[in-house]
């Protein structure tokens, strides 16, 4: 379990960007947190980290926004308005799970029973004006992500430059 603090939306995006840089091409990531916790903001940073330069819309109504980023693919889900976990089938989830892609899920609770387990679960909570982010691995892949992220953030004497996370 890794805990990070993000004092403002920019820092939240930065965490997303750093996370993208240590996430392999295929991974399932859950973004837990109340309304307005900063899940979409983190996803926006993640996409920017992979070079996406367009606007990142919240998939509140579409439920799913796909992104093709050169070699990489990211599918950003927001299941808040999913009426029933069975509806996930109509979003083509089964095929997406077979493909080499990162799947980001806001409101994964809404897909209970139909979603595959996460490699990594983020729990975002209010902390003063900012947010506290707890990262919990769900697989060996997730443990690798956290290790690499932790190294990037905390290792001052690493060869890679220390990233400007708070
Ligand atoms: N670390 C942070 N500190 C302070 N404000 C933040 C932080 N992260 C995001 N915010 C702000 O919180 C608001 C809600 O963010 P966002 O839309 O990302 O939340 P969400 O979790 O996706 O909400 P929803 O459940 O409605 O989809 C935005 O105004 C955003 O700028
Ligand atoms: Mg959102």
pLDDT, tens digit, for every residue of 127-147?
999 999 999 999 999 999 999
**Pocket around ligand 1: residues whose beta carbon is below 6 Å from it?**
6, 8-9, 11-12, 33, 35-41, 58, 78, 106, 129-131
From atom 15 of ligand 1, which residue's Cα is the shortest distance away? Answer: 38
pLDDT, tens digit, for every residue of 49-77?
999 999 999 999 999 999 999 999 999 99
Indicate which atom in ligand 1 lies nearest the CA of residue 43: 18
Going by their DSSP bridges, the two strands 72-78 and 64-69 should be labelled as: antiparallel
- Cα-to-centroid distance, 107 and ligand 1 (Å): 14
As a whole number of angstroms, the distance between CA 117 and CA 127 comes to: 27
pLDDT, residue 47, reads 98
CATH numbers and ranges of domains, the chain: 2-154 (3.40.50.300)
pLDDT, residue 152, reads 87
Nearest ligand, measured from the Cα of 128: 1
């Amino acid at each position: 379990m890794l805990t990070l603090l993000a004092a403002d939306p920019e820092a939240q995006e930065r965490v997303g960007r750093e996370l993208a840089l240590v996430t392999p091409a295929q991974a399932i990531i859950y973004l837990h947190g109340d309304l307005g916790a900063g899940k979409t903001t983190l996803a926006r940073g993640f996409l920017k980290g992979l070079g996406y330069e367009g606007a990142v819309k919240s998939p509140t109504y579409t439920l799913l926004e796909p992104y093709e980023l050169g070699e990489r693919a990211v599918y950003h889900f927001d299941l808040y308005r999913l009426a029933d976990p069975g509806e996930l089938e109509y979003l083509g989830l089964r095929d997406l799970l077979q493909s080499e892609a990162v799947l980001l899920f806001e409101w994964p609770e809404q897909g209970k029973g139909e979603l595959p387990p996460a490699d990594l679960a983020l729990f975002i909570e209010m902390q003063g004006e900012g947010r506290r982010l707890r990262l919990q691995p769900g697989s060996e892949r997730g443990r690798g992500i956290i290790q690499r992220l932790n190294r990037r953030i905390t290792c001052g004497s690493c060869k890679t430059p220390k990233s400007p996370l708070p």
